[in-house]
Amino acid sequence: MDRVLAVGIYMADRPSTVAHVSLCLASARKYDITQRWIAIAPNGRGDYSHPMTSMVISTPEPKFPLLDRLLADAQDFDWIIISDDDIEFEEGAIDRLLCLAKSCDFALCQPARTLDSFTDHPLVQVLPGLTARRTRFVEIGPFICIRRDAAELLLPFGEQCRMGWGLDFVWPVVMEKFGLRMGIIDGVTMAHRIRRPAEHYSHAAAHLDMYRMLATRPYLTQEEAFTILEIYPE
């Protein structure tokens, strides 16, 4: 049975679906999943009693360096899952998602977004009639799966990638260089409608971090990245 490390960050003082996501992960039957969550509880406020909580942060810190703290032993797992705290799945989604990722040979993937979800990039929305698509783009959130061989290339994120903006244009360059495939799983969808993305931090600072990172690393343009290379019909 493959070992999976699932990590995430939840806002203790705001509505979230962390309990639902955690239950979906714990309900997987075909994979051995270890969960680690960080609670952000500003000045100690909010509910951070979720039993899978590994750490409580009382002052806001950048997301991806926090995730690195939970991923120090990522090499010991077959898959890494990184989740936000405001998404919804159908029953059995995690088993189906990882099984489809394996059958499509995707080393980096994510479930498609439901049509009623908040969406920045239309490419990630579900396409009815498809099981999956091989793409040159997997968004940095709100839920991603990284196979061990890809994790060796993409982790740790590093201090420079504070909120992760722009990583999804760097990743395909790395993946293609090493002959790894990535894609979107339409056969499993997630709803992202509890909170609007990027509400709780500075867009200007995130953009500046992104420009600094892209100045030092090869990346795809949006036109290059938003490409479907192969489809898998139902």
Q: What is the pLDDT of residue 136?
A: 99
Q: What is the pLDDT of residue 201?
A: 61
What pTM was estimated for this model as a whole? 0.96
- Please give the C-alpha separations between residue 128 and each of 112, 125, 134, 185, 186, in angstroms, as whole numbers: 10, 10, 15, 11, 7
Residues 196, 5, 152, 224, Cα dihedral to 10°: -30
Q: What is the pLDDT of residue 199?
A: 60
Task: Identify the burial level of 178 via C-beta atoms within 10 angstroms of its C-beta, where 0-12 means exposed, 13-18 middle and 19 or more buried.
Answer: exposed
Model pLDDT for residues 175-203, shown as the tens digit of each residue = 999 999 999 999 999 999 998 866 666 77
3-state secondary structure of 23: helix
Is-contact 190 89, C-beta < 8 A?
yes
- Please give the C-alpha separations between residue 32 and each of 3, 166, 175, in angstroms, as whole numbers: 5, 31, 26
- Whether domain 3-233 has CATH 3.90.550.10: yes
Query: How crowded is the C-beta side of 129, counted as CA atoms within 13 Å?
Result: 1
The domains of the chain are located at: 3-233
Model pLDDT for residues 67-112, shown as the tens digit of each residue = 999 999 999 999 999 999 999 999 999 999 999 999 999 999 999 9
- Helix ranges (H only) for the chain are 18-26, 63-70, 93-103, 148-154, 167-177, 203-214, 222-225
Q: CA-to-CA distance for 6 and 146, rounded, in angstroms? A: 10
State phi, psi for 128 to the nearest 5 degrees: -60, 145
Q: How high is the mean pLDDT of the chain? A: 95
Q: CA-to-CA distance for 76 and 139, rounded, in angstroms? A: 24
